[in-house]
Structures are given as C-alpha cells and as structure tokens.
Amino acid sequence: MKLLEDRIKKDGRVLSEHVLKVDSFLNHQMDPVLMQEIGKEFARLFEKDGITKIVTIESSGIAPAIMAGLYLNAPVVFARKRKSLTLTEDLLTASVYSFTKNEMTEISISQKYLSKKDRVLIIDDFLANGQAALGLLQLVQQGGADIAGIGIVIEKSFQQGAEKLQQLGIRVESLARIMSLSDGNVIFINEKVEETVK
C-alpha cells in the first residue's frame, strides 16, 4: 500500500535492526485518514470472505481494526491484556510473549463475543515473530469460530511470523512488508524486487 509505505519512509524511525517506531501515526498519535485508507484496503482484500467478526489486540490493533470493521460491516472485538473487573463472563485465554515488552502476557476475550457461526479476520499493527497473531488465533479456535485470514499493517518480513502463520495454512495479508531495517533504513520487499527487475 503506497500511501502507508510513503508514510513509513517519511515518519518512521528505525530504533534498531529489529524495531521500527511509528508513534506519530499508528502507535501513539494516530492519523485517522490513514487509518481509514487502511480499513478500506483490508475490506477490499477480504470483501469476498464472508467476515462476520474482526478480532484484534489492545491497544494499537484497535484503530486499523475498527476501520476495517466499518468497511466490512462487521463488529470488532479486542483481546484485553489485563483482566478487567467488569469482564466477569467466561473467558477465552492465551499466553503471548510480547516482542516489545519482553514479557509474557495473558490475553483474553469474553466467550460471548465469538461463536461457531463466526468467520473471523484477525488484525494487528505489526507482525514480527507471530506471537500476538498466534495467541489471537488460539482465542478464535477456542471460541470454535472459523478463521478467514490475518490482516497486518506492517510486516517485518525478515522475522519469522508470516512464515509460521502461512505454514499453518493461514492467509496473511500485510499492507507494508519490510525486508530490512539495516543501517537505519527501511527497505520494503517490493523495492528490492523492482531493483532486481531493472
């Protein structure tokens, strides 16, 4: 997605060979117009898949997920990372190792928001080693729902997440795919392909 790639080039900050900071438009301050375009793109990619529910994880998955839900006309449920006092219903839970926080977190969704009749699209902001996506997948499976695929805003393709998910037969659609963050530069996969073709 060109708009997103241009924005990453312009405003993303490479913190290390493995971490990209996008706090000015996705992870802290959020750009609603960009989020809207992201939602439209996910909707275009999954419009024929009969999505009845979108599942994401708090907090940075919520903005792209809600926009996708708007255009796919499906409700959005986010997994919580901390137990809420008001969340007293039967819970679906999974343990997730957090890439950025370097710790295990228990994530949960109330059972009543996922059913066997659901066809789910999982959405998240980043895909690194796939722990968050695999945790969300476990919740969807515990709820007995069907999985249509995973939509990712920024995939770091040099890490293992996409491959792991694809090996499980899961469709992964990433709007920006980063091949490398070496030397403080963001290089997208399609940039490399274009260079080879020239």
Q: How far is the CB of 101 from ligand 5GP (least distance, A)?
A: 8
Across the beta sheet with 53-57, the strand order is: 76-79, 53-57, 119-127, 146-156, 172-180, 187-188
- CB nearer ligand 5GP, residue 20 or residue 38: 20
Q: How far is the CB of 22 from ligand 5GP (least distance, A)?
A: 6
Q: What is the distance in angstroms between the CA of the first residue and the CA of the last residue of the chain?
A: 21
Interface with ligand 5GP (CB under 6 A): 19-22, 27, 60, 99-100, 124-133, 156, 161
- CB nearer ligand 5GP, residue 42 or residue 52: 42
Type of residue numbered 132? A
Please confirm whether the linkage preceding 95 is cis (ω < 30° from 0): no
Whole-number Å distance between alpha carbons of 191 and 92: 41
- CB nearer ligand 5GP, residue 52 or residue 96: 96
Q: How far is the CB of 196 from ligand 5GP (least distance, A)?
A: 25
Q: How far is the CB of 147 from ligand 5GP (least distance, A)?
A: 16
- CB nearer ligand 5GP, residue 108 or residue 131: 131
- CB nearer ligand 5GP, residue 20 or residue 63: 20
Q: How far is the CB of 197 from ligand 5GP (least distance, A)?
A: 28
